[in-house]
Amino acid sequence: MILSGSDIIVECLLEQGVNTVFGYPGGAVLNIYDSLYKYSDKLRHIITSHEQGACHAADGFARATGKTGVVIATSGPGATNLTTGLATANMDSVPLVAITGNVSTDLLGLDSFQEVDITGVTIPITKHNFIVKNIAELADTLRLAFDIANSGRKGPVLVDIPKDITAATYEYSPAESINKAGRETYDSSNIDYALELIEKSEKPYIYAGGGIISANAEEELKTFAELCDAPVSCSLMGQGAYDQTDRRYIGMLGMHGTVKAAAALNSCDLFIGMGTRFSDRVIGDAKVFGKNAKFIHIDIDPAEFNKNVEVGCTIKGDIKEVLKNLCGKISQKKCGWTDEIINGDFGEPVQKGTSELPVTPQAVIETLDKLTNGQAVVATEVGQNQMWAAQYYKFKEPRSFISSGGLGTMGFGLGAAIGAKVGRPDKTVVNIAGDGSFAMNLNELITASSHNIPIIELVLNNKVLGMVRQWQRLFYNKHFSQTTLDARHIDYVKLGESFGIQTFVIEKCEDIEPVLKKALDISKSAPVMIEVRIDRDINVLPMIPAGKPVVNPITEIDLEA
Amino acid sequence: MNEQEYVLSVKVSNNNGVLPRVGGLFSRRGYSIKSLNAAETEEPDISRLTIVVSSDLRVLEQIKNQLMKLYDVHEVKILTDAVTREHILIRAGNSAEDRHKIIEIANLYRAKPVDISANSIMLELTGEPAKIDSFLNLLKPFGIIKMVRSGITALERD
């Protein structure tokens, strides 16, 4: 049948099983929005306050569901507003398809109104991108975009479509998705070597990253850990890849990982990293990272091998497949060291502040964990709020922790929580924010209330940019440069209510449970916000300073000194 | 590890923007390009880039793996046994007393005069990069006015 380009776009989205898109209209996408109007019974469109929020929402949707998120933006500023969201998704390997309008092909390259070379701009922050200058290629390009976003190591793909292409008509016939993107093949040549290392190891330690979640390999990981009789840590991106209430789980590894995980790293004889890119925030000083251990690295992306840490035994492939293969060949191990680590007391720090404010973020998050039975989807902003969420919420299942790990995008969480809730309406979705991150993209509260997306926005308000302040305290002679936000007089209750969002304040310890309960109840049908007033000097501990060896983490910071 | 020059032969789709994709990868990851040559191949949709990089073996492996992640890149070969050639056009000083000496050197290298004016002579030469270098060294004393090198092209031997 003959369809307009914009109808072809919507048909192609439906082909891919897309039922929700996030976006913002504008001149260059008028044709697309006209088709969205026509197809509104088949495809839900959620307008956000800002394209960045739409991109984070599509990202949160993708992380929470495992499906590909879709975002639509107009040309020029609409497109450039996506860039932070695309870079965020790119760093965390999130499958996303961004569709941008552009000026008509005859106006391209002439500095036309709202023209920007968005494919040029986004080359380094997308997995791939396209500009469609011929309507004959439109449908297959969109199919290919989904294929690329979802193959191998996943990532965002942008498709830029000039306005005349969306207006033109062309023959459209529905097609199965195409399979043109390269698939990483399984290279099993090192399997025997890996098996030998595992066989010989007396102190194996498993470190699982976000790749486990992307590959849906959590069950294989669990079986593998039991067969190896190894303790398990997860990276920040790997939160939820392993049930944190299981005895083998010894906490996060890295800059704000547990003392126990650091001890395991330094005493293990075999370090098995999987679905991880050995981020600098984890390895600290690469030269001495796990210096007593041999390494196995399993990943779908061979470019991660020997990039940050030199590894003897690398296995390229889909982790699920690799782990299945390994599990079929390992004989059950028993390691005395593992029990020593799991049961050992390594002196985990207590995080304290200085002021009279009694409520601590850890108490709030632990109560939230208890009340939701560790089964909520928790989004975060970036900074202390993010680390506390990772440290104190006991994630039990994949796709329940939604956080900007690689790019560290403040302002990510609210949009992402909205997307996550749209994708998983059955789940309680909480965004744990700091007051700094909250202020960056609080405009998306309007999205939550206008579409009645019932999330809980939990703002840990310490009136400072806490993580930066923590570094200033430790490394910049307590010069709290531009990180004290006392002059911001925000009445969260009035602010929330002006957007039509019920808002509560937690100021006393005895408020924590009843307010959280009330919020959880309201969030069955409407969005709700909580301001938690906390001390500004509670530091995230333990801490390994950037670039330093992951040995003897800082467990106490003298607030008087 | 020791840095060394390596020649990469990279097959890419002839798509819009493939050069910025490849070039951007090198610049943002800090890989050093010594030369880059790009042109079509026997297949109309495919171009071949010949890239000379300076790196150690670990970074070389990184470059190869990162290039392979680009959707438009189909194949990356690190050439070890290959015919390598470079083409040069050079305009050198041409005073009456130098002219014979320059032509003598050109003959020695089988370089061809392609343009002669009152004040200068333009020569072209194709050869292995080392031969080009030594040719240039001999011409330098006469004053090199302008030159352009094609960068290395290479094909592996059978």
Which residue is closest to A126 within chain B, CA to CA? Answer: B70
Residues of B in contact with A128 (CB under 8 A): 70-71
Check pLDDT > 70 for residue A157: yes
| Distance, CA of A450 to CA of A447 (rounded, Å) | 5
Assign residue A452 a region (left: φ > 0; alpha: ψ between -120 and 50; beta: otherwise).
left
Q: Would you call B130 exposed, middle or buried from its count of C-beta atoms within 10 A (0-12, 13-18, 19+)?
A: exposed
Q: Is residue A73 part of a domain?
A: yes
Q: Which of A123, A182, A310 sits opposite B20 (nearest CB)?
A: A123
Same domain, A209 and A282: yes
Cβ of A302 within 8 Å of Cβ of B62? The answer is no
Check pLDDT > 70 for residue A268: yes
Q: Is residue A292 part of a domain?
A: yes
User: What's the half-sphere exposure (Cβ side, CA atoms, 13 Å) at A148?
Assistant: 22
Chain segment A464-515, per-residue pLDDT in tens: 999 999 999 999 999 999 999 999 999 999 999 999 999 999 999 999 999 9
Chain segment A104-126, per-residue pLDDT in tens: 999 999 999 999 999 999 999 99
**Domain closes at, from A299, A314, A343:** A343
Check pLDDT > 90 for residue A181: no
Same domain, A323 and A390: no
pLDDT of residue A94: 98
Sign, CA torsion A88/A93/A97/A100: positive
Residues of A in contact with B68 (CB under 8 A): 302-303
Tell me, yes or no, if A131 comes closer than 8 A to chain B by beta carbon: yes
Same domain, A32 and A147: yes
Chain B interface mutation, best of A128, A147, A187, A300, highest count of B Cβ atoms under 10 Å: A128
Q: Is residue A220 part of a domain?
A: yes
Same domain, A165 and A257: no
CA distance readout (Å), A142 to A12, A107, A137, A145, A198: 7, 23, 9, 5, 44
Cβ of A303 within 8 Å of Cβ of B66? The answer is yes
Same domain, A145 and A269: no
Q: Is residue A350 part of a domain?
A: no
Q: Is residue A150 part of a domain?
A: yes
A294 tagged catalytic: no
Q: Which CATH architecture has domain B83-156?
A: 2-Layer Sandwich (3.30)
Q: Which of B24, B65, B71 sits opposite A148 (nearest CB)?
A: B71
Cβ of B65 within 8 Å of Cβ of A131? The answer is no
For residues A58 and A96, the answer to whether their CB atoms sit within 8 Å is: yes
Same domain, A433 and A491: yes
A15, A38, A67, A114: the active-site residue: A114
The minimum CA-CA distance between B65 and chain A, rounded to whole Å, is 5
- Do the two domains B4-80 and B83-156 of this chain adopt the same fold? yes
The domain spanning residue A475 has which CATH number?
3.40.50.970
Check pLDDT > 80 for residue A180: no
For residues A548 and A280, the answer to whether their CB atoms sit within 8 Å is: no
Residues of B in contact with A125 (CB under 8 A): none
A113 tagged catalytic: yes
**Domain closes at, from A291, A309, A343:** A343
Q: Which of B65, B70, B71 sits opposite A302 (nearest CB)?
A: B65
A529 tagged catalytic: no
Q: Is residue A410 part of a domain?
A: yes
Residues of A in contact with B24 (CB under 8 A): 123-124
- Domain count of the fold of chain A: 3
Chain segment A449-468, per-residue pLDDT in tens: 999 999 999 999 999 999 99
The domain spanning residue A221 has which CATH number?
3.40.50.1220
For A240, list phi and psi in degrees, rounded to 5.
100, -15
Tell me, yes or no, if A302 comes closer than 8 A to chain B by beta carbon: yes
A255 tagged catalytic: no
Which residue is closest to A307 within chain B, CA to CA? Answer: B62
The ipTM of this complex is 0.91
Tell me, yes or no, if A148 comes closer than 8 A to chain B by beta carbon: yes
Same domain, A326 and A381: no
If we measure between CA atoms, which residue out of A197, A142, A139 comes closest to residue A170?
A139
For residues A378 and A456, the answer to whether their CB atoms sit within 8 Å is: no
pLDDT of residue A460: 98
Same domain, A373 and A331: no
CA distance readout (Å), A380 to A60, A389, A445: 11, 7, 15
Tell me, yes or no, if A223 comes closer than 8 A to chain B by beta carbon: no
A467 tagged catalytic: yes
B4-80 folds as Alpha-Beta Plaits (3.30.70)
Q: Is residue A420 part of a domain?
A: yes
The minimum CA-CA distance between B153 and chain A, rounded to whole Å, is 26
Tell me, yes or no, if A181 comes closer than 8 A to chain B by beta carbon: yes
Cβ of B70 within 8 Å of Cβ of A128? The answer is yes
Residues of A in contact with B58 (CB under 8 A): 306, 310
Residues of B in contact with A307 (CB under 8 A): 62
Contacts of A425 (CB under 8 A, 6+ apart): none
Chain segment A433-443, per-residue pLDDT in tens: 999 999 999 99
Render A236-288 in DSSP notation, one character per residue: STTTTSS-TTSTTB----STT--HHHHHHHHH-SEEEEES----HHHHSSGGG
Q: In chain A, what percentage of residues exceed pLDDT 90?
A: 95
Tell me, yes or no, if A141 comes closer than 8 A to chain B by beta carbon: no
* Residue ranges, chain B, pLDDT below 70: 1, 94
Cβ of A306 within 8 Å of Cβ of B58? The answer is yes
Same domain, A518 and A448: yes
Cβ of A127 within 8 Å of Cβ of B71? The answer is yes
Tell me, yes or no, if A123 comes closer than 8 A to chain B by beta carbon: yes
Residues of B in contact with A119 (CB under 8 A): 17
Q: What's the pTM value of the predicted model, to 2 decimals?
A: 0.96
Residues of B in contact with A306 (CB under 8 A): 58, 61-62
**Per-domain boundaries in chain B:** 4-80, 83-156
Query: Domain range spanning residue A461?
Result: 361-533
Same domain, A132 and A202: no
Mean pLDDT across chain A, nearest whole number? 96
Same domain, A280 and A389: no
- Look-up: residue for tokens 């680390």? A387
Residues of B in contact with A123 (CB under 8 A): 17, 20-21, 24
Q: Is residue A177 part of a domain?
A: no
Same domain, A24 and A138: yes
Which residue is closest to B27 within chain A, CA to CA? Answer: A124
Chain segment B36-79, per-residue pLDDT in tens: 999 999 999 999 999 999 999 999 999 999 999 999 999 999 99
| Distance, CA of A533 to CA of A507 (rounded, Å) | 5
Tell me, yes or no, if A509 comes closer than 8 A to chain B by beta carbon: no
